[in-house]
Protein backbone atom coordinates (compact mmCIF):
# COMPACT_ATOMS: atom_id res chain seq x y z
CA UNK A 1 0.00 0.00 0.00
CA UNK A 2 1.07 3.59 0.48
CA UNK A 3 3.70 4.77 -1.95
CA UNK A 4 5.75 1.64 -1.96
CA UNK A 5 3.77 -0.38 -4.42
CA UNK A 6 6.88 -1.10 -6.41
CA UNK A 7 8.19 -3.15 -3.55
CA UNK A 8 10.93 -0.72 -2.59
CA UNK A 9 11.81 -0.56 1.02
CA UNK A 10 11.60 2.58 2.99
CA UNK A 11 15.01 4.24 2.80
CA UNK A 12 17.10 3.72 5.86
CA UNK A 13 16.95 6.43 8.43
CA UNK A 14 20.69 6.63 8.92
CA UNK A 15 21.22 7.01 5.20
CA UNK A 16 18.86 9.93 5.01
CA UNK A 17 20.40 11.53 8.03
CA UNK A 18 23.93 11.13 6.81
CA UNK A 19 23.13 12.50 3.41
CA UNK A 20 21.79 15.60 5.03
CA UNK A 21 24.81 15.94 7.27
CA UNK A 22 27.18 15.67 4.36
CA UNK A 23 25.30 18.28 2.43
CA UNK A 24 25.43 20.71 5.27
CA UNK A 25 29.09 20.11 5.87
CA UNK A 26 29.84 20.48 2.19
CA UNK A 27 28.07 23.79 2.06
CA UNK A 28 30.15 25.11 4.92
CA UNK A 29 33.43 23.71 3.69
CA UNK A 30 33.00 24.82 0.10
CA UNK A 31 31.94 28.28 1.08
CA UNK A 32 34.96 28.61 3.30
CA UNK A 33 37.62 26.89 1.27
CA UNK A 34 36.45 27.10 -2.30
CA UNK A 35 35.24 24.30 -4.49
CA UNK A 36 38.54 22.47 -4.43
CA UNK A 37 38.41 21.92 -0.72
CA UNK A 38 39.19 18.46 0.53
CA UNK A 39 36.35 16.01 0.46
CA UNK A 40 37.86 14.25 3.39
CA UNK A 41 37.47 17.45 5.34
CA UNK A 42 33.83 17.46 4.38
CA UNK A 43 33.40 13.90 5.57
CA UNK A 44 35.15 14.63 8.80
CA UNK A 45 33.05 17.67 9.46
CA UNK A 46 29.92 15.71 8.72
CA UNK A 47 31.05 13.03 11.13
CA UNK A 48 30.87 10.27 8.57
CA UNK A 49 33.44 8.09 6.89
CA UNK A 50 34.84 9.02 3.54
CA UNK A 51 33.22 5.96 2.06
CA UNK A 52 29.82 7.19 3.07
CA UNK A 53 30.41 10.49 1.40
CA UNK A 54 31.39 8.82 -1.83
CA UNK A 55 28.45 6.47 -1.74
CA UNK A 56 26.04 9.36 -1.58
CA UNK A 57 27.92 11.59 -3.98
CA UNK A 58 30.16 9.57 -6.26
CA UNK A 59 31.83 12.62 -7.75
CA UNK A 60 32.69 16.07 -6.56
CA UNK A 61 30.31 17.46 -9.10
CA UNK A 62 27.45 15.45 -7.73
CA UNK A 63 28.05 17.11 -4.43
CA UNK A 64 28.18 20.56 -5.98
CA UNK A 65 24.99 19.86 -7.74
CA UNK A 66 23.20 18.85 -4.59
CA UNK A 67 24.56 21.83 -2.73
CA UNK A 68 23.85 24.49 -5.31
CA UNK A 69 20.76 23.25 -7.05
CA UNK A 70 18.57 25.06 -4.63
CA UNK A 71 20.39 28.32 -5.21
CA UNK A 72 19.99 28.08 -8.93
CA UNK A 73 16.35 27.36 -8.43
CA UNK A 74 15.95 30.53 -6.42
CA UNK A 75 17.57 32.67 -9.06
CA UNK A 76 15.35 31.15 -11.69
CA UNK A 77 12.24 31.73 -9.71
CA UNK A 78 13.08 35.36 -9.29
CA UNK A 79 13.38 35.70 -13.03
CA UNK A 80 9.97 34.16 -13.39
CA UNK A 81 8.45 36.59 -10.97
CA UNK A 82 9.83 39.43 -13.02
CA UNK A 83 7.88 38.31 -16.02
CA UNK A 84 4.97 40.32 -14.79
CA UNK A 85 6.94 43.54 -14.54
CA UNK A 86 5.92 46.38 -16.76
CA UNK A 87 9.14 47.36 -18.44
CA UNK A 88 10.86 44.24 -19.72
CA UNK A 89 14.25 45.85 -20.08
CA UNK A 90 14.07 47.13 -16.60
CA UNK A 91 13.04 43.68 -15.43
CA UNK A 92 16.12 42.22 -17.01
CA UNK A 93 18.28 44.83 -15.42
CA UNK A 94 16.81 44.07 -12.07
CA UNK A 95 17.37 40.41 -12.47
CA UNK A 96 21.00 40.94 -13.31
CA UNK A 97 21.49 43.24 -10.37
CA UNK A 98 19.94 40.85 -7.98
CA UNK A 99 22.10 38.18 -9.49
CA UNK A 100 25.15 40.15 -8.44
CA UNK A 101 23.91 40.35 -4.91
CA UNK A 102 23.18 36.70 -4.96
CA UNK A 103 26.68 35.91 -6.04
CA UNK A 104 28.03 38.18 -3.38
CA UNK A 105 26.40 36.18 -0.63
CA UNK A 106 26.89 32.71 -2.06
CA UNK A 107 30.55 33.02 -2.72
CA UNK A 108 31.02 29.37 -3.41
CA UNK A 109 28.49 29.15 -6.14
CA UNK A 110 30.21 30.97 -8.94
CA UNK A 111 33.43 29.12 -8.44
CA UNK A 112 31.57 25.86 -8.40
CA UNK A 113 29.70 26.77 -11.52
CA UNK A 114 32.86 27.87 -13.22
CA UNK A 115 34.45 24.58 -12.40
CA UNK A 116 31.34 22.81 -13.57
CA UNK A 117 31.46 24.60 -16.87
CA UNK A 118 34.94 23.45 -17.55
CA UNK A 119 34.19 19.85 -16.85
CA UNK A 120 30.91 19.91 -18.73
CA UNK A 121 29.17 18.46 -15.75
CA UNK A 122 25.60 17.77 -14.89
CA UNK A 123 25.34 20.81 -12.69
CA UNK A 124 26.31 23.04 -15.52
CA UNK A 125 23.80 21.50 -17.87
CA UNK A 126 21.04 21.73 -15.35
CA UNK A 127 21.83 25.26 -14.29
CA UNK A 128 22.10 26.56 -17.77
CA UNK A 129 18.92 24.95 -18.86
CA UNK A 130 16.98 26.14 -15.89
CA UNK A 131 18.29 29.67 -15.93
CA UNK A 132 18.10 29.99 -19.68
CA UNK A 133 14.49 29.10 -19.64
CA UNK A 134 13.77 31.56 -16.89
CA UNK A 135 15.62 34.39 -18.54
CA UNK A 136 14.48 33.47 -21.99
CA UNK A 137 11.00 34.66 -21.37
CA UNK A 138 12.29 37.99 -20.13
CA UNK A 139 14.35 38.37 -23.25
CA UNK A 140 11.58 37.30 -25.54
CA UNK A 141 9.18 39.72 -24.02
CA UNK A 142 11.62 42.56 -24.41
CA UNK A 143 12.45 41.61 -27.94
CA UNK A 144 8.82 41.23 -28.87
CA UNK A 145 8.17 44.67 -27.53
CA UNK A 146 10.94 45.90 -29.77
CA UNK A 147 12.85 47.18 -26.81
CA UNK A 148 15.89 45.03 -27.28
CA UNK A 149 17.87 43.36 -29.97
CA UNK A 150 16.70 39.88 -30.68
CA UNK A 151 19.87 38.12 -31.65
CA UNK A 152 21.13 37.58 -28.16
CA UNK A 153 20.24 34.26 -26.64
CA UNK A 154 19.67 33.57 -22.97
CA UNK A 155 22.77 31.44 -23.03
CA UNK A 156 24.80 34.33 -24.35
CA UNK A 157 23.51 36.48 -21.61
CA UNK A 158 24.24 33.96 -18.92
CA UNK A 159 27.73 33.41 -20.14
CA UNK A 160 28.40 37.09 -20.08
CA UNK A 161 26.85 37.49 -16.68
CA UNK A 162 28.66 34.67 -15.00
CA UNK A 163 31.82 35.55 -16.79
CA UNK A 164 31.74 39.01 -15.33
CA UNK A 165 30.99 37.65 -11.91
CA UNK A 166 33.83 35.25 -12.14
CA UNK A 167 36.22 37.92 -11.03
CA UNK A 168 34.30 38.15 -7.81
CA UNK A 169 37.17 38.11 -5.41
CA UNK A 170 38.93 41.22 -6.38
CA UNK A 171 38.42 44.39 -4.44
CA UNK A 172 35.61 46.42 -5.88
CA UNK A 173 34.35 43.68 -8.12
CA UNK A 174 30.79 44.38 -7.25
CA UNK A 175 30.59 47.95 -8.40
CA UNK A 176 32.66 47.06 -11.43
CA UNK A 177 30.26 44.35 -12.44
CA UNK A 178 27.28 46.57 -11.87
CA UNK A 179 28.83 49.17 -14.10
CA UNK A 180 29.53 46.62 -16.77
CA UNK A 181 26.03 45.28 -16.61
CA UNK A 182 24.65 48.74 -17.14
CA UNK A 183 26.79 49.14 -20.18
CA UNK A 184 25.67 45.81 -21.36
CA UNK A 185 21.99 46.41 -20.96
CA UNK A 186 22.37 49.74 -22.70
CA UNK A 187 23.96 47.91 -25.56
CA UNK A 188 21.14 45.44 -25.63
CA UNK A 189 18.59 48.05 -26.37
CA UNK A 190 17.68 48.25 -29.93
CA UNK A 191 19.79 50.94 -31.46
CA UNK A 192 17.78 53.27 -33.55
CA UNK A 193 21.10 54.69 -34.52
CA UNK A 194 22.76 52.95 -37.43
CA UNK A 195 25.84 55.09 -37.35
CA UNK A 196 26.67 57.78 -34.89
CA UNK A 197 30.13 57.47 -36.33
CA UNK A 198 31.61 54.61 -38.20
CA UNK A 199 29.63 51.46 -37.79
CA UNK A 200 32.24 48.76 -37.60
CA UNK A 201 29.81 45.95 -38.01
CA UNK A 202 31.34 44.50 -41.10
CA UNK A 203 33.76 41.77 -40.29
CA UNK A 204 36.52 44.01 -39.19
CA UNK A 205 39.10 41.35 -39.00
CA UNK A 206 42.10 42.76 -37.31
CA UNK A 207 45.34 42.48 -39.09
CA UNK A 208 46.59 40.74 -36.04
CA UNK A 209 47.94 37.31 -35.80
CA UNK A 210 45.81 35.16 -37.97
CA UNK A 211 47.28 32.02 -39.22
CA UNK A 212 47.44 31.49 -42.95
Partner DNA sequence: GAAGATACGGAGGTAGCCTCCGTTTAACAA
Partner DNA sequence: TTGTTAAACGGAGGCTACCTCCGTATCTTC
Tell me which of DNA, a copy of itself, none is bound by residue 112, counting a contact when its beta carbon lies within the kind-specific cut-off of 5 to 8 angstroms. none
What residues from 122 to 141 belong to the interface with a copy of itself (CB under 8 A)? none
Nearer to a copy of itself, 23 or 99 (CB): 99
According to the binding rule CB under 8 A, does residue 143 interact with a copy of itself? yes
According to the binding rule CB under 7 A, does residue 4 interact with DNA? yes
According to the binding rule CB under 8 A, does residue 200 interact with a copy of itself? yes
**What φ, ψ does residue 146 adopt, rounded to 5°?**
75, 15
Nearer to DNA, 60 or 93 (CB): 60
What residues from 21 to 80 belong to the interface with DNA (CB under 7 A)? 38-41, 47-52, 54-56, 58-60
C-beta separation of 112 from 64 below 8 A: yes
What residues from 20 to 79 belong to the interface with a copy of itself (CB under 8 A)? 34, 74, 78
According to the binding rule CB under 7 A, does residue 11 interact with DNA? yes
**Other CB atoms closer than 10 Å to residue 178's CB: what's the count?**
15
According to the binding rule CB under 8 A, does residue 162 interact with a copy of itself? yes
Site residues for DNA per CB under 7 A:
4, 9-15, 18-19, 38-41, 47-52, 54-56, 58-60
Amino acid sequence: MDEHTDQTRKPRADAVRNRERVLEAAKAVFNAGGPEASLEAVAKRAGVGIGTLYRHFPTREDLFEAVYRREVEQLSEFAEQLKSAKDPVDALRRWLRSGVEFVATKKGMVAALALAVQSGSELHAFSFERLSKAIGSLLDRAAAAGAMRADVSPEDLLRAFFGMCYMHDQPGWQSSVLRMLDVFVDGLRVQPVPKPKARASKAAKPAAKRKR
